[in-house]
Structure 1
Amino acid sequence: MIIYKQFSFDSAHFLPQVPEGHKCGNMHGHTYLLTVYIEGQPEEHSGWIIDYGDLKKAIKPIIDQLDHHLLNEIPGLENPTSENLSIWLWNKIKPLVLGLKKIELKETPSSGVIYEGF
């Protein structure tokens, strides 16, 4: 069984590796939508895989590092593409959340990344 919880955050960034004149080389912002998927079997007593409140507590400090910040200034995100941000998020979340299956990160309603780790 797979459960999920969504989180949103607003961040600015620019992509320093794009060709000169590319619009994403300019600073701009997104309202990101992060979905965290957890795989497991419901625990017999509670009936839950994980308490959503506990999941929220685990993820909140990570989201707080990103929300209303310039991603390029965060160590490890000097080239903050959605792909690189997904890897960064995975590496922060994986040690905290037992059963992490995948994450989905949308930078717009129609564009995003699904990452299942390496």
Structure 2
Amino acid sequence: MIYLSKELTFCAAHQLYNPKWSKEKNEEVFEGCAHENWHGHNYHLTVTVKGRPDEDTGMVMNFKDLKRIVKKEVISKVDHKNLNLDVDFMKGKMTTCEVLVEAMWGVLAPKISEFTDGRVVLHSLKLYETNTSFAEYYGE
């Protein structure tokens, strides 16, 4: 099995806020992330797929195709957007790094499999919210 990865970046704003809690509790739990005027991050996403190289091309998947799918299905929807208000696959969800990476999986996994006729599957997503904080998801 060969693992192929593509890295992409995007900028987005969000707010962590549980409407069931008081403002004070939200600020206690989420600190600055609960700020009423939002805040933003420069996210870094690593998309890893797995499969066997194609006999004719020698590629698991063309990097250009992987980039095109990720940009169309995810990056175009989140880049320079408010994750709480503008992103269809995040409606009604907490916009933590953990929930975001899982939601991205739900969008990308079927698209990659469909494009490759099931020959290549999504292996993992790694989403950096900051240089030192990230969430990794394997579809489990």
Q: TM-score range by the shorter chain?
A: over 0.9
4+ long deviations beyond 6 Å: none
Shift of 1:25: 0.2
Rg larger in structure? 2
- More helix, by proportion: 2
Question: What amino acid is aligned across from residue 86 of structure 1 in structure 2?
Answer: V
Aligned to 2:132: 110
Q: Deviations over 1:12-58 (max 9, x none)?
A: 00101383322110111001000000111111111100001111111
Aligned to 1:43: 54
Shift of 1:76: 4.3
Distance 2:51 2:88 in 1: 32
Question: What amino acid is aligned across from residue 92 of structure 1 in structure 2?
Answer: V
Give the TM-score taking structure 1 as reference length. 0.93
Aligned to 2:123: 101
Task: Report sequence identity in percent.
Answer: 32
Aligned Cα root-mean-square deviation (Å)? 1.3
Unpaired runs of 5+ residues, structure 1, are: none
Q: Does residue 25 in structure 1 map to residue 34 in structure 2?
A: yes
Give the TM-score taking structure 2 as reference length. 0.79
Unpaired runs of 5+ residues, structure 2, are: 114-120
- Matched length: 118
Q: Deviations over 1:42-93 (max 9, x none)?
A: 1111110000111111111220100000000123424100011011100010
Aligned to 1:4: 5
